[in-house]
Chain A
Amino acid sequence: MLSTKRTSTTTQDQDGAAKAAPPGPPPSRVRRPSRWLAWGFLAPVTIYLAAFYAYPLYRNVELSLREYTVRSFVQGGAPFAGLDNYRTVLSDPAFGPTLWHTLIFTGASLVFQFSIGMALALFFHQHFPLSRTLRALILVPWLLPLIVSASTWSWLLNSDSGLVNAALGAVGIDPVNWLTSPGWSLTSVIIANIWIGIPFNLVVLYSGLQGIPVEMYEASALDGASSWQRFWRITFPLLRPVSTITLLLGLIYTLKVFDIVWIMTRGGPTGSSATLATWSYRLGFGNMLPEFGPGAAIGNLLIVMALIAGLIYIRIERRQHLR
Chain B
Amino acid sequence: MTTSTPRAWWKTGIGLVLTGLMLFPVYWMINVSFTRDQDMRANPPHLFPINGTLDGYRAVLDQQLPYLGTSFLVGLGTVVLTVALAAPAGYALAKLRPPGGPALSFVLLIAQMIPGIIMAMGFYAIYLTLGVLNTLPGLILADTTLAVPFGVLIFTAFMSGIPDELIQAAVVDGASRLRTFWSVVLPVSRNSIVTVSLFAFLWSWSDFIFASTLAGGGDHQPITLGIYHYIGNNNQQWNAIMATAVVASIPAAVLLILAQRYVSMGVTAGAVKD
Measured CB to CB, the residues of A under 8 A from B are 1-3, 5-7, 9-10, 13, 16, 28, 32-33, 35, 37-39, 41-42, 44-46, 48-49, 52-53, 55-60, 63, 73-74, 120, 123-124, 126-131, 134, 136-149, 151-156, 160-161, 163, 166, 169-170, 195, 198-200, 203-204, 207, 242, 245-246, 249, 252, 255-256, 258-259, 263, 277, 280-281, 284-285, 292, 295-296, 299-300, 302-303, 306-307, 309-310, 314, 317, 321
Indicate whether A256 sits within 8 Å of B116 (C-beta atoms), given known contacts A148-B245, A156-B28, A314-B109.
yes
B110 within 8 Å of A (CB atoms): yes
Given A56-B126, A60-B118, A299-B118, 16 more pairs with CB closer than 8 A: A1-B268, A28-B97, A33-B177, A53-B114, A57-B114, A123-B11, A126-B11, A138-B19, A140-B23, A148-B29, A152-B26, A166-B43, A166-B45, A200-B271, A307-B110, A314-B106
The CA-CA distance from A144 to B85 in the complex, in Å, is: 26
CB distance from B37 to the nearest CB of A (A): 12
CB distance from A68 to the nearest CB of B (A): 9
The CA-CA distance from A55 to B126 in the complex, in Å, is: 9
Question: Which of B115, B205, B213 contacts A302, CB < 8 Å?
Answer: B115
Q: What is the size, in residues, of chain B's interface with A at 8 Å between Cβ atoms?
A: 108
Question: Which of A44, A120, A149, A281 contacts B25, CB < 8 Å?
Answer: A149
B9 within 8 Å of A (CB atoms): yes
Is the Cβ of A170 less than 8 Å from the Cβ of B113?
no
Question: Which of B99, B126, B156, B256 contacts A59, CB < 8 Å?
Answer: B126
Is the Cβ of A123 less than 8 Å from the Cβ of B85?
no
Tell me what chain B mostly uses at the interface: helix, strand, loop, or mixed.
helix
Interface centre among A58, A138, A246, A309 (most CB of B within 10 A): A138
Top 10 closest A-B pairs, CB basis? A56-B122, A38-B98, A38-B96, A145-B206, A41-B92, A143-B252, A128-B11, A45-B89, A299-B118, A41-B88
Indicate whether A152 sits within 8 Å of B25 (C-beta atoms), given known contacts A129-B8, A145-B205, A321-B274.
yes
Is the Cβ of A161 less than 8 Å from the Cβ of B40?
yes
B69 within 8 Å of A (CB atoms): no
B15 within 8 Å of A (CB atoms): yes
Q: Which residue of B lies closest to A152 (CB)?
A: B29
CB distance from A41 to the nearest CB of B (A): 4
B184 within 8 Å of A (CB atoms): no
Question: What are 10 A-to-B residue pairs whose CB atoms are below 8 Å?
Answer: A2-B272, A39-B100, A45-B148, A129-B4, A130-B16, A152-B28, A152-B242, A204-B271, A280-B121, A306-B114
Question: Which of A134, A147, A285 contacts B19, CB < 8 Å?
Answer: A134
Is the Cβ of B245 less than 8 Å from the Cβ of A151?
yes
Q: Which residue of A lies closest to B164 (CB)?
A: A13
The CA-CA distance from A57 to B113 in the complex, in Å, is: 12
Is the Cβ of A281 less than 8 Å from the Cβ of B117?
yes
Q: Which residue of B lies closest to A52 (CB)?
A: B145
The CA-CA distance from A254 to B157 in the complex, in Å, is: 25
CB distance from A56 to the nearest CB of B (A): 3
Is the Cβ of B256 less than 8 Å from the Cβ of A143?
yes
Q: Which residue of B lies closest to A14 (CB)?
A: B97
Q: Which residue of A lies closest to B261 (CB)?
A: A136
Residues from chain B with Cβ under 8 Å of A195 in the complex: 22, 25
Q: Which residue of B lies closest to A196 (CB)?
A: B25
Question: Which of A2, A3, A37 contacts B177, CB < 8 Å?
Answer: A37
Is the Cβ of A155 less than 8 Å from the Cβ of B238?
yes
Question: Which of B19, B119, B128 contacts A73, CB < 8 Å?
Answer: B128
Residues from chain B with Cβ under 8 Å of A124 in the complex: 15
Is the Cβ of A155 less than 8 Å from the Cβ of B242?
yes
B255 within 8 Å of A (CB atoms): yes
Residues B169-217 near A (CB distance < 8 A):
177, 181, 202, 205-206, 208-209, 212-213
Residue-wise, chain B 150-176 has the 8 Å CB interface mask toward A (1 for contact) of 001000111011001000000000000
Residues B81-128 near A (CB distance < 8 A):
84-86, 88-89, 91-93, 96-101, 104, 106-111, 113-126, 128
Indicate whether A299 sits within 8 Å of B121 (C-beta atoms), given known contacts A44-B84, A256-B115.
yes
Is the Cβ of A140 less than 8 Å from the Cβ of B85?
no
